[in-house]
Amino acid sequence: MNTPLPILSVALLVAAAIGLVLQQTLIARLCRRHRKVWECLHESSAGIMAFDRFLWLKQYRTLGDEQFNRRAGFLRGYWVAFFVMFILAVIVAFVSISGHK
């Protein structure tokens, strides 16, 4: 049996859950400390993707909140690491499936 695939799958699920908690914590902080920015993002036609775009384009740096900047930068790095782990899981799954012929 190929054990990396189940381990990677569980790790991916746990990492996704942690990422959601981190994102919701950051959204709550934005809502508490920068209400007007949150309202603009919330009312945007892009919905929750407006927050993702706000984070990915580093627009949070204009807020002048160093603690928020650090947390947002960490979440951006977490997203990149999660994407790499996802790609790795897909490759391992592909290799595992093609090796069972």
Q: Give per-residue pLDDT as tens, 17-72.
A: 999 999 999 999 999 999 999 988 888 877 778 899 999 999 999 999 999 999 99
Does position 95 have pLDDT exceeding 60, yes or no?
A: yes
Q: What value, to the nearest 5°, has the Cα angle with vertex 18 and ends 54 and 14?
A: 135
Query: How many other C-beta atoms can be found within 10 angstroms of the C-beta atom of residue 40?
Result: 12
Tell me which residue of 18, 22, 11, 23 sits closest to 85, measured CA to CA: 11
Tell me which residue of 88, 99, 96 sits closest to 12, measured CA to CA: 88
pTM of the entire predicted model: 0.83
